[in-house]
């Protein structure tokens, strides 16, 4: 019996499909009333991430509402520092807060037991795989080392990642050691996701902006390259999407050096620039989430421009960053209708 075709997975592998594959970053989350109801009784955000029954339910919720081609694991990029032993809290209305790490406290991290602590999330992957239609792709993920390090050092998100940038410049040995820990832990974590049933994984380099080209090469491209290389030693030919948000002119070098299968584009990437990426390189994106929030003709027009702009290469339609909580459900339904109609 021939296996069931998964259009989104085939697109990641470089095969343009007859039907436009679609998923939406942060599709499992706060804009859905069923998520808000479950979240209210789940305890803390990390409790939700570490409870397989609930996390699997959240992962599957958007596919019950929308004609999407993939489920993405419901979790967070900061489960890795939490599993390494750093104190991580999610405060309502304030985002994540971590006890900032220093060169003197690096020894407190425990990579040896990190994967064991992440076992509940791997169990979520198994449960989602069991409950997912065979034509749907299951996307696993992790945060890329530079992005995760910015939170670990700064203690929270920031607009310029100044704490991590200064740390990397003034304490390069300690920073390189932290990146090594994150690379190795990420490889183990992603390989475990594949073994549990993930079809593809995405590397979220959410803070790839604000770095000069030398720092970008060293702290974004090289660690992501090492993750892809190490992962494919564990899982041969593992399909990987790279999403270096804000990479701008560094995108071609990132794609070439990391050897990701498909490149996620943020909404600031001009279509004309993306069209000059290497022929055949698949792309994902890149509607502005606020266009989706606003809806109407402006959204429809931009969707059609994006679909038309990528007719000559494998393309997964998506936002250029995560969906915002205030987004009307009707706008998501309209996005799918217009994107599929324009393909």
In sequence order, which residues have a C-beta less than 8 Å from that of residue 110 and are 6 or more positions away? 84, 85
Place of tokens 């999330």: 121
Q: Which of 40-44, 187-191, 210-214 is predicted least confidently?
A: 40-44
Position 6 scores a pLDDT of 97
Please confirm, yes or no, whether 151 is among the known catalytic residues. Answer: yes
Q: Which of 31, 151, 189, 254 is catalytic?
A: 151
Position 2 scores a pLDDT of 64
- Tell me the pLDDT tens digit for each residue of 154-207: 999 998 999 999 999 999 999 999 999 999 999 999 999 999 999 999 999 999
CA distance 13 to 15: 6
C-alpha distances in Å from residue 320, one per residue of 248, 265, 270, 302, 331: 13, 6, 11, 12, 16
- % of the chain with per-residue pLDDT over 70: 99
Position 128 scores a pLDDT of 98
Q: Which of 39, 129, 177, 232 is catalytic?
A: 39
Cα dihedral: 99, 105, 111, 117 (round 10): -30
**Distance from the first to the final alpha carbon of the chain:** 30
Position 43 scores a pLDDT of 86
Is the distance from CB of 90 to CB of 46 less than 8 angstroms? yes
- Tell me the pLDDT tens digit for each residue of 216-240: 999 999 999 999 999 999 999 999 9
pLDDT surpassing 60 at residue 137? yes
- Tell me the pLDDT tens digit for each residue of 256-277: 999 999 999 999 999 999 999 9
pLDDT band at residue 3 using 50, 70 and 90 as cut-offs: confident
Q: What is the mean pLDDT of residues 86-105?
A: 90
Q: What is the mean pLDDT of residues 102-109?
A: 95
Q: Which of 26, 165, 225, 291 is catalytic?
A: 26
Instruction: Go through the domains of the chain in sequence order and give each one's CATH number.
Output: 7-342 (3.20.20.210)
Q: Which of 31, 35, 50, 76 is catalytic?
A: 76
In sequence order, which residues have a C-beta less than 8 Å from that of residue 221 and are 6 or more positions away? 250, 253, 254, 257, 258
Q: What is the mean pLDDT of residues 120-130?
A: 98
pLDDT band at residue 308 using 50, 70 and 90 as cut-offs: very high
Q: Which tokens belong to 320?
A: 């250029």
Place of tokens 């706060």: 30
Please confirm, yes or no, whether 26 is among the known catalytic residues. Answer: yes
Please confirm, yes or no, whether 218 is among the known catalytic residues. Answer: no
pLDDT band at residue 41 using 50, 70 and 90 as cut-offs: confident
Position 238 scores a pLDDT of 98
- % of the chain with per-residue pLDDT over 90: 94
Question: Mean pLDDT, the chain, as a whole number?
Answer: 96
Position 1 scores a pLDDT of 57
Q: What is the pTM of this model?
A: 0.97
With helix as H, strand as E and coil as C, how does the chain read? CCCCCCHHHHHHCCCCCCCCCECCCCCCCCCCHHHHHHHHCCCCHHHHHCCHHHHHHHHHHHHHHCCCCEEECCCCCCHHHHHHCCCEEEECCCEEEECCCCCCCHHHCCHHHHHHHCHHHHHHHHHHHHHCCCCCEEEEEEECHHHHHHHHHHCCCCCCCHHHHHHHHHCHHHHHHHHHHHHHHHHHHHHHHHHHCCCEEEEEECCCCCCCHHHHHHHHHHHHHHHHHHHHHHCCCCCEEEEECCCHHHHHHHHHHHCCCEEECCCCCCHHHHCCCCCCCEEEEEECHHHHHHCCHHHHHHHHHHHHHCCCCCEEEEECCCCCCCCCHHHHHHHHHHHHHHC
Q: Which of 40-44, 47-51, 72-76, 226-230 is predicted least confidently?
A: 40-44
CA 221 to chain centre: 16
Position 92 scores a pLDDT of 75
Q: Which of 13, 16, 30, 334 is catalytic?
A: 30
Please confirm, yes or no, whether 30 is among the known catalytic residues. Answer: yes
Is the distance from CB of 187 to CB of 231 less than 8 angstroms? yes
Q: Which tokens belong to 58?
A: 């959240």
Q: What is the mean pLDDT of residues 286-308?
A: 98
């Amino acid at each position: 019996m021939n296996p069931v075709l998964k259009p989104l997975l085939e697109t990641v592998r470089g095969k343009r499909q007859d039907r436009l594959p679609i998923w939406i970053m942060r599709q499992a989350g706060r804009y859905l009333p069923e998520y808000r109801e479950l979240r209210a009784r789940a305890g803390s955000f990390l409790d939700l991430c570490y409870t397989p029954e609930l996390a699997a339910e959240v992962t599957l919720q958007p596919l019950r509402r929308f004609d999407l081609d993939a489920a993405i694991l419901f979790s967070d990029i900061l489960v890795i520092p939490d599993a390494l032993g750093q104190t991580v809290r999610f405060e309502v209305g304030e985002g994540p807060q971590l006890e900032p790490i220093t060169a003197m406290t690096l020894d407190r991290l425990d990579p040896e037991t990190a994967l064991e602590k992440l076992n509940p999330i791997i169990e979520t992957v198994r449960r989602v795989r069991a409950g997912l239609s065979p034509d749907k792709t299951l996307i696993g993920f992790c945060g890329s080392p530079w992005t995760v390090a910015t939170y670990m050092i700064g203690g929270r998100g920031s607009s310029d990642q100044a704490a991590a940038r200064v740390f990397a410049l003034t304490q390069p040995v300690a920073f390189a050691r932290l990146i090594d820990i994150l690379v190795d832990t990420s490889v183990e974590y992603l390989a475990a996701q594949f073994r549990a049933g993930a079809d593809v994984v995405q590397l979220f380099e959410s803070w790839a902006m604000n770095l000069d080209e030398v720092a970008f090469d060293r702290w974004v491209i090289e660690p992501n390259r090492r993750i892809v290389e190490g992962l494919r030693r564990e899982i041969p030919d593992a399909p990987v999407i790279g999403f270096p948000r804000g990479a701008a002119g560094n995108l071609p070098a990132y794609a070439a050096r990391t050897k990701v299968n498909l490149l996620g584009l943020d909404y600031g990437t001009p279509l004309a620039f993306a069209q000059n990426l290497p022929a055949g390189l698949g792309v994902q994106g890149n509607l502005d989430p606020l266009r989706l929030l606003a809806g109407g003709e402006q959204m429809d027009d931009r969707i059609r421009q994006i679909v038309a702009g990528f007719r000559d290469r494998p393309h997964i339609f998506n936002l250029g960053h995560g969906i915002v909580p205030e987004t009307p459900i009707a706008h998501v339904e309209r996005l799918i209708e217009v994107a599929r109609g324009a393909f």
